Structure 1
Amino acid sequence: MHEPIAAVPASSPRLTSLDQFRGYTMVGMILVNYLGAYKEVTPRLFRHTNDYCSYADTIMPHFFFAVGFAMRLSLGKRIEAGGKMPWGRAIRRILGLALVAIVWYSITDLSDIIKQFQTKPTGVVLHTLFKGLYFQTLMHIAATSLWILPVIATSWKTRLGYTVMSALIHFLISWWFNFAWVQSSPGGIDGGPLGFFSWAIPTLSGTIACDTVRTWGQGAARKLTFAGLGVMLFGWALSNGTVLYNVPPGQDEAMVAAQAASSAADRFPIDPKKFSSDPVVPTWDRIKSWDGTLVEPPFVPPPDFHHRRLNYWMMSQRTCNLSYTIFSAGLSLLVYAIFLVICDGMHFRLGLFRTLGTNSLAAYVLHDVAIWIVSPFVVRNSRSVALVLAGYVVVTLLVYGACRFLEWKKWYLRV
């Protein structure tokens, strides 16, 4: 059964906080995607290193949170207006986004795709494309939206149960094969094609946040803040499993030799110098040898793989593991609560956030174009912080200018 969704107050046809939150996410995306190419001058906190949750790793979960919030909001209104779930329209919209993802990611890497088809069997190329290139942000959003669609209009308890079920499925398939498969060559991106089971966590968190805001208005900020802190703490607690994979002093070479022999027989061999042979479910001996050490605080980098083998419990956007998506979902709740207070409560807003937030799909596509335009003028391995930051400002202004034109024409492309 569908749960009645409270009406949005007539005086607030749009939630300013949602547009501003989405705009902040777009600005953050441009920042980390641009700076990621300049490792010489970019601090680790602003790069994806796939061994802890950096600032860069918080941006993509914000996308999913906003998508879940917007889906619940828009479909709720349509159910109220028509009395039934608009399945056809919702599915067409999701499939359309998936098509946009395939077309756009093909365009961005067209020369390499053509070369692959000329030199490799068709089946191998398609496997590589769908495992990695095509399953980036837009395709992950489409797959996750389709996965949660059956419960989008149900009660919050049903959606919470669906979230738990999705998390369990992700853990089980990771134990079965998916963790090693995503890490093995050719590598997957952001959890690979089955990452939607874990991406459902921040997305469904967004739907529950939507209910909270529509019921309590600005008073929801306190509830979202405490919920966010609690979810973040739970995600961090799960990540403590990573310390079980600390390498005892003097045992590095012996462990590598043993793991190399083990991984050679696996269907999806992964680098034994970096990964444990039991990366998802630790052995009993590993559990018994725990010395009481706790994992580092959030946003503090861990030791390198020589001192801690990469594993499922280590927060990682590449593996899209549970500790990462749960912690990030809590952070999204907390950050959105701040926007709710500042934007809907204090009526403060930034034009930059509004423009990018109301045209998020256009901004996503345009930021790639802007980076292509600016990059030739900024040496890839430049050590000039000023030059790199100037390039970022230009990229952001190009995206903003194009989206501002679309806004002026009242043309909107949202994820």
Structure 2
Amino acid sequence: MTATAETTGQSSPEQLRTAMVEALRSIGAVRTDRVAAALLAVPRHVFAPEVPAAEAYEPERALVTKRNEHGLAVSSVSAARIQAQMLEQADVRPGMRALEIGSGGYNAALLAELVGSEGEVVTVDIDPFVTERAEKYLGEAGYERVRVVLADGSGPVEGGPFDRIVVTAGAWDLPPAWTDALTEGGTITVPLRMHGLTRSITFRREGGRLVSVSAEVCGFVKMQGADAHDEFLVLPRGTKEIGLRFDELERPDTSRLGGVLETPRAEWWTRVTVGNQEPFDSLYLWLASSLPGFGLMSVDSELDTKTVAPANRMACPVIVEGGSLAYLALRKISDGPAVFEFGAHGFGPEGGPLAALINTEVRKWDREHRAGGGPTFTAQPAGTPNDQLPDGLVIDKTHVRLTISWP
């Protein structure tokens, strides 16, 4: 007798896909029947043969397909939750022409399901390992109609203009080729980094500018090629224990931070609280768009001397001015259920005032933006005069002037 999923007690790929889609619906990542149908149709496990099928269908699991010499992921099949979320944002319809920047195969197959037989899908990647792999597995899964292109995705791609562009690599900038490739009213959905914080933003083209229609928290491996961008890293103690990362062209002077963490620590608290499982992602973005000298602090758990106690040891808001710094902090104020209070710690001669400044902005976020829908993002070409920009924080990238406007 031939062994089957039923006789071995293992779930079949079809059963695994159904369970994945049900899980994604339950958390709100899948909201429409057409995205659900695409996820049910495409065999995700075919694009990740290195792992067992059951792992390929775990909703939160990203499947790394290539690492660099340092062991860092440079290509992956993104977590199904993120892919579903971005496809819902992109609102891809039958008959559309879609471009995917950053290939892998699986997401391109999902796009092919969404555009249908009358639509077109082009997927492009700079790495021949990725494009060869994508072409191979797209063929095995029955999606030969997807055109796979080996090229730097930040440049022009033949086949446009496109109704939808979906970028599946973390971008720091918005190259003009992307805007030029869009139809008027077309959209691009892109994981965009701003001060080190990544949001999956869907922008609609309005003439020469892009205006956001939605934004979601996400994370992606960084883009390679001409528009790759690395953060500026500062080690105030000279070791990897504590790092300060600054991600924009304009950054604070950090030359006077030597010894700052050996000074007494100032602590200020806000009376603004948060529950144990309550998200507060908009707070980080608010602080990034309202505080000068903004960056992110990280702490190496193996080297940690407990000198600092940031709210998040992987990426915590920090501000720098001269020889002083301050960062966002949390302290537990009650158990059952756990409740935490926001505050700030400061170091250096101006550490106390900097901590107080963070707390002022935390309170403003709590009053005015905590329950809101978040900001609008507008991208206009570099060189656009200030009087033609909307109100808000302006971040100057290489190709665009990005404005973050809070209601």
Shorter-normalised TM range: under 0.3
Q: Which has the higher contact order (CA 8 A, sep 6+)?
A: 1
Question: What TM-score does the superposition give when structure 2 sets the normalisation length?
Answer: 0.24
More strand by share: 2
Flag the structure with higher helix content.
1
